[in-house]
Amino acid sequence: MIGIRLNEVPMRIEEGATLRRLRDRLHPEADLLIVNGFPVAEDRRLEPDDSVVMIQRGVIPTADQLETLMMARHTPGVHARVSRGRVGIAGAGGLGSGVAVALARVGVGQLVIADFDVVEPSNLNRQQYFIDQIGMPKVEALRDNLRRINPYVEIEVFDGRIDAQNILEVFDGVDVMVEAFDAPDQKAMLAAAHLRQSPRCPLVAASGLAGHLASNAIRTHRIRDNFYIVGDLESAAEPGRGLMAPRVGIAANHQANAVLRLLLGEKPE
Amino acid sequence: MKLEINGETRNVEQGTTIVQLLDLLKLQPDRVVVELNRRVLNVAEQGKTLLREGDNLEIIRFVGGG
């Protein structure tokens, strides 16, 4: 017997087994066979530690199959905790759409996303939308895009403005809250309202990510336990220093990683 | 009177409100989160809260962009 991985899952097969025979026995419907990262057309003998992926083109994996793949990638313990997570995202612009995509890819169980805006052409320089979504409410466009990445993430959306009166209701029961607004007064309002009303729920905010300054100036700062700010804390979006995909993406992924670490019980910074 | 602001000691006049302090620091009240003795204030409280000797303030400024 030799050990291989089939669709990310370790298994043992008899020595001398070939790719086609394994396909015919376990996944006869598969029409694309990948061995160690490369598509393979001809039959071949499988070697110890080969990583084999069998795909039926055009067929969406079931929730169970995707779960198996994610568990193998992320390890079962990590996957279990992440998939139980419920995360609030206030704002679906460059930060919020980036955070949402990263968290959907990593398999966070529930996302609650709020924004009042529609997709505008100028958003496409950094936000996770497509040109055919111009004019759509951002929360709807983002929900569509997230479903194309991982249809098994539960997504709640709120198409409207968040304020100190509705924040608790909209983001009911979240484990971690992400501040992803654009305007500085909205950022401060959200942070103050959240810290006052949900002091036990960690907040990951962002400030200072405009322009094309150095990547490494963007950091995850701990302000208090349960209050983190991502950014360089200085560079505001202003005429002559616009928001651009690379730095906004860096900040969004700092935020997403802080959320992931918090869900896993680790310190973000 | 002496205050501690973001870990540094600073002297301000008696009777200063938080909004006046923010003005002194050239900060806009609606763009900051103010923690007074570890309690986060709302914007209305910033206007009417008088500072006292020994108060501990954490002022977190937000800049735009997202």
- Residue A73 has a pLDDT of 86
Considering the domain boundaries, does residue A187 fall inside one? Answer: yes
Same-domain status, A47 and A156: no
Considering the domain boundaries, does residue A66 fall inside one? Answer: no
Residues of B in contact with A180 (CB under 8 A): 66
- Residue A76 has a pLDDT of 83
Is the pLDDT at A20 greater than 90, yes or no? Answer: yes
Q: How far is A261 from chain B (nearest CA, A)?
A: 22
Q: How far is B31 from chain A (nearest CA, A)?
A: 5
Cα gap A43→A60, rounded to integer Å: 25
Residue A137: which domain range?
76-263
Instruction: Spell out the domains of chain B, with CATH numbers in brackets.
Output: 2-61 (3.10.20.30)
Is the pLDDT at A133 greater than 90, yes or no? Answer: yes
Considering the domain boundaries, does residue A268 fall inside one? Answer: no
| Per-residue confidence band for A14, with pLDDT thresholds at 50, 70 and 90 | very high
Bigger pLDDT: A269 or B5?
B5
**Contact between chains at B62 and A187 (C-beta distance less than 8 A):** yes
Which pair of structure tokens corresponds to residue A254? Answer: 């700092």
- Residue A202 has a pLDDT of 98
**Contact between chains at A182 and B64 (C-beta distance less than 8 A):** yes
Say what the ipTM of the complex is: 0.95
What does the pLDDT look like over A222-267, one tens digit per residue?
Answer: 999 899 999 999 999 999 999 999 999 999 999 999 999 999 999 9
Given a contact cutoff of 8 angstroms between Cβ atoms, the answer to whether A207 and A118 are in contact is: no
- Residue B48 has a pLDDT of 87
Residues of A in contact with B58 (CB under 8 A): 223-224
Return the ∠ at Cα A192 (arms to A188 and A193), rounded to 5°.
Answer: 115
Considering the domain boundaries, does residue A206 fall inside one? Answer: yes
